[in-house]
């Protein structure tokens, strides 16, 4: 009989998403911030981290409310995704 595997780092917090969170932490070179704030709402710092933005890119802008931060993040571009899209488009046009 196979014994259960040991829990992955962060698994108690991230549940089934722990492997993906750990992989993105390695890619970015920094730990994930908490996913929720002290009131249990989605953390803007976590959204910023998920998008691969540098810490404070949106969340450290003076005078931006939480709502404005989420709006900016929601309307923003994920840099890694945009770079991949541009590479694919350039490859298709033969410009690489």
Q: Please tell me the predicted confidence (pLDDT) of residue 24.
A: 94
Measure the CA–CA gap between 7 and 13, rounded to whole angstroms: 11
Long-range contacts of 45-49 (CB under 8 A, 24+ apart): 47/73, 48/73, 49/24
Whose tokens are 């541009």? That residue is: 86
Look up the pTM and report it.
0.80
Predicted pLDDT of residue 96: 67
pLDDT recorded at residue 76: 93
Condensed to tens digits (0 to 9), the pLDDT of residues 71-80 reads 999 999 999 9
Encoded tokens for 36: 């929720």
Instruction: Evaluate whether 70 touches 42 at the Cβ level (below 8 Å).
Output: yes
Strand partners, 36: 42
- Residue 2 pLDDT: 59
pLDDT tens-place string over residues 21-52? 999 999 999 999 999 988 989 999 999 999 99
Can you give the C-alpha Rg of the chain in angstroms?
A: 17
Q: What percent of the chain has pLDDT over 90?
A: 70
């Amino acid at each position: 009989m196979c014994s259960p595997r040991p829990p992955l780092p962060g698994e108690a917090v991230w549940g089934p998403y722990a492997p993906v969170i750990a992989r993105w932490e390695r890619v970015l070179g920094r730990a994930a911030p908490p996913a929720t704030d002290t009131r249990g709402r989605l953390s803007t710092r976590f959204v910023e981290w998920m998008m691969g933005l540098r810490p404070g890119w949106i969340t450290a802008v003076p005078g931006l409310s939480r709502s404005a931060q989420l709006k900016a993040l929601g309307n923003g571009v994920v840099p890694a995704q945009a770079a991949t899209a541009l590479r694919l488009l350039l490859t298709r046009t033969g410009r690489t």
